[in-house]
Amino acid sequence: MDKNTVWYIEKKLERTKAALVKKNYDVYIVESKEEALSKVIDLIEKGSTVSFGGSMTVIDSGMVEALRKCDLNLLDRYKEGLTPDEIQKVFRDSFFADYYITSSNAITENGELVNLDGTGNRAAAMIFGPKKVIIVAGYNKIVRDLNEAYNRVRNCAAPKNCKRLSRKTPCTETGVCMDCSSGDRICNYYVVTYRQNVKGRGIVILVKEELGY
């Protein structure tokens, strides 16, 4: 990445950080996914109950494996051999976690978080329940405004996630949202978080790397 592109990304992240801070978030800018992982582990107190929402950022950063090795009560939705009922229990129990780790489908430079969920458990936990929510996002998630966020969520994140999950939806063929009525549709709950009501509950880690969808 050339120095001018790095400068451009840094300025975008700085604008976004300033906007998020004004909206009651604690915000960190880090260089890499490895630094993001280290920051997450540093922020979490030993013995805490920790869970995470479905997120390619969380998976790709190695966070799941790292958290399994920590002194934590981990509500692990990805644990091998879980039944659908057991996964649903993890979703419900996550509302009582001390820390909930996830990403955001988009973050605007005005400090808004934009998310589109299939079951709604991730978006719901980001809004209410866990004592603290840690959001890790690569620079690729940063958009100018809500219009760009809507386009990114529907026509970038959703088709990629449908393809990853082998959903039988039109977007897995076309690559763009068709606003379908498929039973496999994951675009069910569209949530815009305009600000964090409780100061410091939301912690955002912005990464100078492309991460997730």
Summarised one tens digit per residue, pLDDT across range 179-195 is: 999 999 999 999 999 99
CATH number of the domain to which 56 belongs: 3.40.50.10420
pLDDT category at 71 given cuts 50, 70, 90 is very high
Convert the pLDDT of each residue in 126-180 to its tens digit: 999 999 999 999 999 999 999 999 999 999 999 999 999 899 999 999 999 999 9
- 3-state DSSP percent of the chain in helix, strand and coil, to 5: 40, 20, 40
Give the count of domains, the chain.
1
Q: Is residue 158 part of a domain?
A: no
pLDDT score of 92 = 96
Q: Is residue 196 part of a domain?
A: yes
Q: Is residue 110 part of a domain?
A: yes
- The tokens for 148 are 């760009």
pLDDT category at 1 given cuts 50, 70, 90 is confident
Q: Is residue 181 part of a domain?
A: no
Q: Is residue 38 part of a domain?
A: yes
Per DSSP, 45 falls in state P
Asked if residue 113 has pLDDT above 90, the reply is: yes
Give the bridge partners for 192, in sequence order.
Answer: 114
∠ CA 30-33-38, nearest 5°, is: 75
pLDDT score of 171 = 95
pLDDT category at 62 given cuts 50, 70, 90 is very high
Q: Is residue 83 part of a domain?
A: yes
The C-alpha atoms of residue 7 and residue 141 are separated, in whole angstroms, by: 17
Q: Is residue 97 part of a domain?
A: yes
∠ CA 55-57-59, nearest 5°, is: 75
Q: Is residue 163 part of a domain?
A: no
What domain range is 54 assigned to?
3-142+189-207
- The tokens for 167 are 């959903």
